[in-house]
């Protein structure tokens, strides 16, 4: 038999009054807590608060309240990076994911199993671990992208009244390009057409695609600089918007087919930079033939190009190449005056070095049919000396300034004299060398006939990283002996770095070195002993 349902006790009127009063108090307290007290401040105080913030913090305020949209922003450059939203756990999981894949490949190469069942079992174990880590990474990406979409929407997709109070000259967007493509297209269109961005940088963590034909017919566009990293630009050379570009940077591209069309159609480009671009063929060759182009500065960095053909760039003034040695074939480049080569040790030589092979890279191949230069910067790096020490023809007949930097410790520094022999009108020589090498003889390298070398126009010699080693003293003595017009010899301890423009020019960073007066006098006497030279030697 069911027990009777207990009746609910009726509350007294006094209890009801006290309950309603406590509820009113809690509601009023909640209203006070939820009230936005900052937005009630005057505009002058809010603008002063924004002036104390950086660009990223000031941008976040746009999602706090609509009141902040109408405030004038003092920043004009914004960097919206999705990596700043990702938690630390994502980067830890990504590191574990990379280690798991590397461990699987290493174990597969070491074991060399022949039993198909054992191979399948090992593959199943590793794939289970790798796939679980991949699923975790994708989860973090989706969560971060949702937050990123809200943030960028609140910043870029705002009413016209808010855009009047803010100005964006430079904008950088780094996203996961494979997701939220709808929103990414809207951001790019809004940034270029509504915000009138002048410098736009698009970077994708995985890959991104945007059809620039969406911008056809847009008026009053101010975009003059565009940077694309791991981004596929569809129809960029056919869009009238980009024919006024003056600066273009392409990074992490595996398809270079449209690059030639871009250069032929976007003739206003003056600065072009190619970074980590690949051509998927056995012998990757990149060709540039743009007779109408106005490119003045060309930078090629960490690309897999074996050969670079410059068929026609009539306005090119500066060429910078970094990474693996690239054979450059010069065509119609009459204005080229500055060349910077920053090459690493070739991979073929590294592999041959493991088998005790002594292959070298012919130096003359790097300067074959080179146009008349005025400024040359060389940085050849590697544990093994891969530059062949043989005379080269006098191809630098107009060279005025030569800067040889980051000469490795293991190298024979006297190979620099071959460059001087090929530059009969050289006036300034800067050499940056490392610590003293293993050999401390100070003798001229084999193969140089000092009687035939004359540097009659050399007036200034600067050696950075000078420690008083015998090889360093021997190099300076040899140059002083063969330079009758030499006026200044500056020896200092320091380092070099590239300037902020990134066009291959180097800046000298001088270190403070305490030389004893006796040591200073001894080194100066050794440099000038038996040499009739009027050069002023300064040792710092």
Q: For the beta carbon of residue 389, count every other beta carbon within 10 angstroms.
A: 17
State pTM to two decimals: 0.80
pLDDT at 39: 67
pLDDT at 374: 93
- Name the helix (H) or strand (E) containing 442: none
Candidates 491, 493, 471, 475; CA nearest to 483 is 475
pLDDT at 165: 60
- What is the residue-level pLDDT of the chain in tens, covering all 540 positions? 455 555 445 445 555 455 555 555 454 455 445 556 766 777 777 777 766 666 566 666 666 666 666 665 666 788 888 888 888 888 888 888 888 888 877 777 766 656 677 777 777 777 888 888 888 888 888 888 888 888 888 888 877 666 666 678 899 998 886 667 888 889 988 998 888 899 999 998 877 777 777 787 777 788 899 999 988 777 776 777 777 889 999 998 876 767 877 888 888 999 999 999 888 777 788 999 999 999 999 999 999 888 999 999 999 999 999 998 888 999 999 999 999 999 987 765 544 444 444 567 777 778 888 899 999 999 988 878 888 877 777 678 899 999 999 988 778 888 888 889 889 899 999 999 866 544 444 443 444 444 446 888 999 999 999 988 888 888 999 899 889 899 999 999 889 988 877 788 899 988 887 788 888 888 988 888 888 888 899 988
Q: Angle at which helices 116-156 and 88-111 pack, to 10 degrees?
A: 160
Handedness of CA 194, 200, 206, 207 (dihedral sign): positive
pLDDT at 16: 47
pLDDT at 450: 43
CA distance 296 to 313: 8
pLDDT at 317: 96
pLDDT at 57: 67
Q: Angle at which helices 517-528 and 470-481 pack, to 10 degrees?
A: 40
pLDDT at 17: 54
pLDDT at 67: 64
């Amino acid at each position: 038999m069911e027990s009777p349902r207990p009746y609910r006790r009726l509350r007294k009127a006094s209890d009801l009054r006290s309950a309603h009063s406590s509820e009113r108090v809690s509601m009023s307290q909640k209203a006070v807590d939820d009230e936005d007290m900052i937005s009630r401040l005057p505009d002058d105080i809010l603008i002063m608060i924004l002036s104390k913030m950086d660009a990223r913090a000031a941008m976040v305020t746009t999602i706090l309240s609509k009141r902040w949209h109408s405030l004038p922003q003092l920043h004009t450059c914004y960097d919206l990076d999705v990596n700043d939203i990702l938690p630390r756990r994502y980067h830890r999981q990504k590191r574990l994911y990379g280690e798991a894949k590397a461990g699987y490949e290493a174990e597969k190469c070491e074991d060399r199993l022949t039993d198909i069942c054992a191979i399948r079992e090992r593959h199943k174990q590793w794939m289970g671990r790798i796939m679980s880590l991949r699923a975790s990474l994708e989860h973090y990406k989706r969560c971060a992208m949702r937050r990123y979409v809200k943030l960028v929407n609140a910043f870029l997709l705002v009413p016209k009244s808010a855009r009047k109070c803010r100005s964006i000259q430079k904008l950088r967007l780094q996203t996961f390009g494979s997701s939220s493509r709808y929103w990414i297209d809207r951001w790019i269109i809004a940034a270029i057409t509504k915000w009138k961005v002048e410098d736009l940088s698009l970077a994708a963590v995985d890959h991104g695609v945007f059809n620039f034909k969406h911008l056809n017919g847009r008026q009053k566009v101010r975009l003059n600089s565009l940077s694309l990293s791991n981004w596929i630009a569809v129809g960029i050379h056919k869009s009238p918007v980009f024919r006024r570009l003056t600066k273009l940077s392409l990074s992490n591209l595996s398809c270079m087919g449209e690059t030639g069309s871009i250069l032929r159609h976007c003739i206003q480009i003056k600065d072009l930079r190619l970074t980590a671009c690949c051509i998927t063929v056995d012998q990757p060759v990149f060709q540039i033939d743009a007779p109408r182009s106005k490119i003045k500065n060309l930078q090629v960095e960490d690309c897999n190009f074996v050969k670079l053909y410059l068929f026609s760039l009539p306005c090119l003034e500066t060429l910078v190449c970094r990474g693996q040695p690239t054979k450059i074939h010069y065509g119609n480049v009459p204005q080229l005056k500055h060349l910077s080569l920053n090459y690493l040790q070739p991979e073929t030589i590294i592999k041959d070095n493991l088998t005790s092979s002594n292959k070298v890279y012919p130096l003359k191949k790097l300067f074959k049919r080179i146009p008349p230069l005025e400024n040359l910067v060389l940085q050849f790096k590697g544990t093994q000396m891969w530059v062949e020490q043989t005379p080269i023809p006098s191809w630098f007949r107009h060279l005025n300034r030569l800067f040889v930097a980051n000469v490795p410790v293991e190298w024979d520094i006297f190979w620099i004299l071959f460059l001087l022999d090929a530059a009969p009108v050289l006036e300034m020589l800067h050499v940056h060398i490392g610590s003293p090498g293993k050999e401390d003889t100070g003798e001229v390298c084999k193969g140089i006939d000092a009687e035939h070398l004359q540097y009659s126009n050399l007036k200034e010699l600067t050696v950075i990283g000078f420690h008083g080693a015998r090889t360093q003293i021997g190099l300076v003595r040899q140059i002083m002996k063969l330079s009758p017009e030499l006026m200044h010899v500056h020896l200092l301890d320091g380092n070099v770095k590239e300037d902020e423009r990134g066009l291959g020019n180097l800046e000298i960073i001088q270190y403070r070195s305490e030389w004893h007066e006796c040591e200073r006098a001894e080194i100066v006497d050794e440099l000038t002993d038996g040499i009739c030279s009027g050069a002023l030697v300064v040792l710092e």
